Structure 1
């Protein structure tokens, strides 16, 4: 099923990326040849973050392929896996997010499903078109994205214990906040470049709260065994769709700060009262960064 579209993409000079299990990779290598040019990314690394962050990783891959010029596109192949740390709604959230973050980008995304009884209808709830026996078939069971996310909301922010920093920040306190974040980033071993990225990311998030929110967002930070975590919460509600996930238009005035923060950090998660009635504030943004 994958052989024909992948071969056609490679013959066009497109960049092909596959995140599949060993069995599927072996079959593709047998059909296409091990030197066909498919880039295989380890599933456990690609899916080492929440679903919305993984979607942005695919979007970056599509933009990188386009930089090759000559109308180059990305042919992406994704397969579902049973990971011990993924909840039941992970793959639904990922599929919904992919439909939004990849919109308008030069990419064709193929999501692999077992064609067991009932599996085709289940896959159709998240996709407009199915590829069946090489033919495109319109889904008969497609559901709305809001309904899907309502049934499979992302888990609430994980409790991380007492923070090492907990402060409200106003306009006059932005410079001092940046110094505090840089100090913690250096102490966490992020190194000069990643520390600067983390400072800029949190500055963008906090500045959003100062300029567009309540004017006094709350910043908390934690240091775990593996990463530095910064969280900004604000009572002001936002109605931005998929905040931080979609690159804003060049002429746009909203959404740029969260998107930049997402690009600069390892993981950016956003919870809003609009999407999660149990959200303790109007918006909670959590950024995570690990040492190099």
Structure 2
């Protein structure tokens, strides 16, 4: 294998999960390939009961998939380490978070699309199994669109006719706080004016010092990106409760088409990618996409998303 082989599989029972994952890992171990499991606690326990610990590299799924940018950074570091040690192929079974697991989906849908580029240089076979008992139908549709390969049955590895290169057209899901009137709502703001308005609006909210700094930085960065790279008018809104803040910036452009935007760092000074990457490393949730109102970047900081 000379590059990333990105595959999905769907299952509806524990036995079906094992039928996909166990031979996949056993074949890798027999070939001397580093074989990684980064699954939920339940699926990890199922695999440990069959495979044990010998040879398998177990990573807690909650740690590996804490946020998309962290997952990419961690996997790339792992893949570099093993290829430097001479690995000619690696295997990974990973449970990517989704709403059926209590996680927002938008940025994980972008992760699944970005993985095709982010890991392209590495000889890795990645299997992303999805449980049809808990995965929403709209998520399964995105999974089909973002995986070039599909295991239609255990051992049946086929080119996926439903794969579409680039971003999945995931619907934007407004935060529950957006049901209220925004505490700040301005059109065509300057970054400095936004920083002042946000600093005033979040006084009294139960945020850590770092959290308050992250809100101000995120607001300023997203507005700057909208004014620099978007299409006017640019609208800034902020909502908050006792412990959480949501910021949304909307412009009339199409937004970045590169699936890697925000998920990997960039040194290009004319790109929005570096600031958005910092947001993905500091905010509790980042959503990017276009709907009837325009292209919106929204972030959530503090409390529970």
Where does residue 286 of structure 2 map in the other structure? Answer: 268
Q: Is the Cα–Cα contact under 8 Å of residues 182 and 238 in structure 2 kept in the other structure?
A: yes
Where does residue 182 of structure 2 map in the other structure? Answer: 163
TM-score (norm 2): 0.65
Equivalent residues in 2 for 1:1-292 (5 A)?
Answer: 1-4=23-26, 7=29, 16-20=36-40, 22=42, 24-34=43-53, 37-42=57-62, 46=65, 55-65=68-78, 71=84, 76-79=92-95, 83=100, 94=108, 97-105=111-119, 106=122, 108-112=125-129, 126-130=146-150, 137-139=157-159, 141-145=161-165, 149-150=168-169, 153-158=170-175, 159-170=178-189, 173-185=190-202, 187-214=204-231, 217-224=234-241, 227-242=244-259, 244-247=261-264, 249-251=266-268, 253-256=270-273, 257-272=275-290, 276=291, 279-281=292-294, 283-291=295-303
Residues 133 and 176 of structure 1: is their aligned pair in 2 closer, same or farther, counting only changes over 3 Å?
closer
After superposition, the C-alpha distances for 1:190-226 in whole angstroms (9 at most, x for unaligned) are 2122322232222111111222335662211111355
Gaps of 5+ in 1: 48-53, 116-121
Where does residue 50 of structure 1 map in the other structure? Answer: none
Where does residue 8 of structure 2 map in the other structure? Answer: none
**How much has 1:2 moved relative to structure 2?**
4.2
Note the aligned Cα RMSD (angstroms): 4.3
Structure 2: distance between partners of 1:140 and 1:280:
33
Q: Is the Cα–Cα contact under 8 Å of residues 231 and 286 in structure 1 kept in the other structure?
A: yes
Structure 2: distance between partners of 1:237 and 1:126:
20
After superposition, the C-alpha distances for 1:159-203 in whole angstroms (9 at most, x for unaligned) are 431111112354xx4223223323444533321223222322221
Residues 97 and 219 of structure 1: is their aligned pair in 2 closer, same or farther, counting only changes over 3 Å?
same
Gaps of 5+ in 2: 1-22, 133-140
When structure 1 is superposed on structure 2, of 252-261 and 159-168 the one drifting more is 252-261
Structure 2: distance between partners of 1:29 and 1:168:
55
Residues 134 and 291 of structure 1: is their aligned pair in 2 closer, same or farther, counting only changes over 3 Å?
closer
TM-score (norm 1): 0.67
